[in-house]
A = this chain, B = another copy of it.
Amino acid sequence: MTATSDVPDADRLARVALSCAVEPGDLVTSRLVADVGPRKALESQLEPKARSSLHERLREVDPERQLELAARAGIRFLVPGDPEWPRGLDDLDHVEPARTGDDGESPCFGGTPPGLWVRGPLALTDLTGSVAVVGSRAASVYGVEVTRGICGQLALARRPVVSGGARGIDFVAHDATLRSGGVSVAVLACGVDQVYPEHNRPLLAHLAAEHAVVSEQPPGSRPTRLRFLARNRLIAAMTRGTVLVEAALRSGALNTVRWADQLSRPVMCVPGPVTSYTSAGAHLWLRGGGAILVTGGADVLEVVGRPGEHLVEPPRGPERPRDGLRGVERTVLEQVPAGEAVDADAIARRSLVHVRDTVRALERLHHKGYVTRVVGGWRLAPGAG
């Protein structure tokens, strides 16, 4: 919308037709488009094939009318070559496809989508440096709290947050980013004019009005399980890295993480209690070694930032008074027992310090609150250990 594109109209219209007729993640289509371009890919698929009605559906599409209807609804269609096209999506043609189920016979899906339908004023060029924050719909209070913290910090660092517009962690990721004044984009499994889930209607309306909602599905499409799965690859591909906050072992969010890993984008997982099934997916990835443990927004920024941009201070515990001690005082203090008291002679013998110097050091340590004088000698003051 903002910049002129050099993409020929015929290419764009062929991509509209493919986008409207082909299910997302269709590998035959994405490979044909990559090999021979969208027009020839469309032509070859218009020929009738046995046991497939794809050619009929392609013939039914009127791409110009689709574009016109979309434009009236404030929806634009982006294709590779457009200035706004998120370049990361092109990587999807170069990674292993996924399967829709755990068994070897489930269908495969993947590939770069023919185009992207976008609703909202945000130029997708602004998504450079964005971070995906995903997780379970069934989020725990803990997951919600951590998501708020991470997205608040990403917003302050002007990192757009991309998520799936679902309930649970997705909702909180968008919501917390917006509340902190950040930029957020939802990638949907349905058309960008649709609302799913109904519960998130106000959020999705706000994103469409102020930021952007994105889908490879044409307007009017409803979500299906396959479309949810296929959508996840776009979230991983459009962002600099993916943060998994909470996911049970079969959560769809793990599918997003798998795509990020395949795409060589960093996978960041938030640990949680091992007793919480909503953290089991994150622990699986952390244990497998493919993911980086993150404890908050600062850790995420360190991972996705340019080298040196967001260095995390190594975490340190609180300073202890003992830290300031040096020399004889320190040496003597090491030998003062925590339990029963001992006399200065014994402390001197242990510390290899002359008795007179030991007694002086003990008196200074007593004055500073490190040791207590009791019947029988000296012992550590409470809390000084």
Contacts and interface: CB of A to CB of B under 8 A. Distances in A.
A271 interface: yes
B270 A274 contact: yes
Given A225-B385, A295-B287, A352 B274 contact: no
Interface stretch (A1-9, A83-91, A119-127, A314-322): A314-322
Contacts of A316: 249-250
Given A249-B316, A317-B249, A350-B23, A274 B146 contact: yes
Contacts of A335: 23, 224, 226
A198 B286 contact: no
A51 interface: yes
Interface residues of A, number: 72
A342 interface: yes
Contacts of A250: 316-318, 320
A272 interface: yes
Contacts of A349: 53, 57
A334 interface: yes
A146 B275 contact: yes
B287 A293 contact: yes
A318 B102 CA distance: 13
Given A222-B342, A224-B336, 14 more contacts: A51-B352, A100-B334, A198-B339, A223-B337, A225-B333, A226-B335, A250-B320, A271-B271, A271-B283, A273-B273, A284-B315, A286-B293, A287-B294, A293-B293
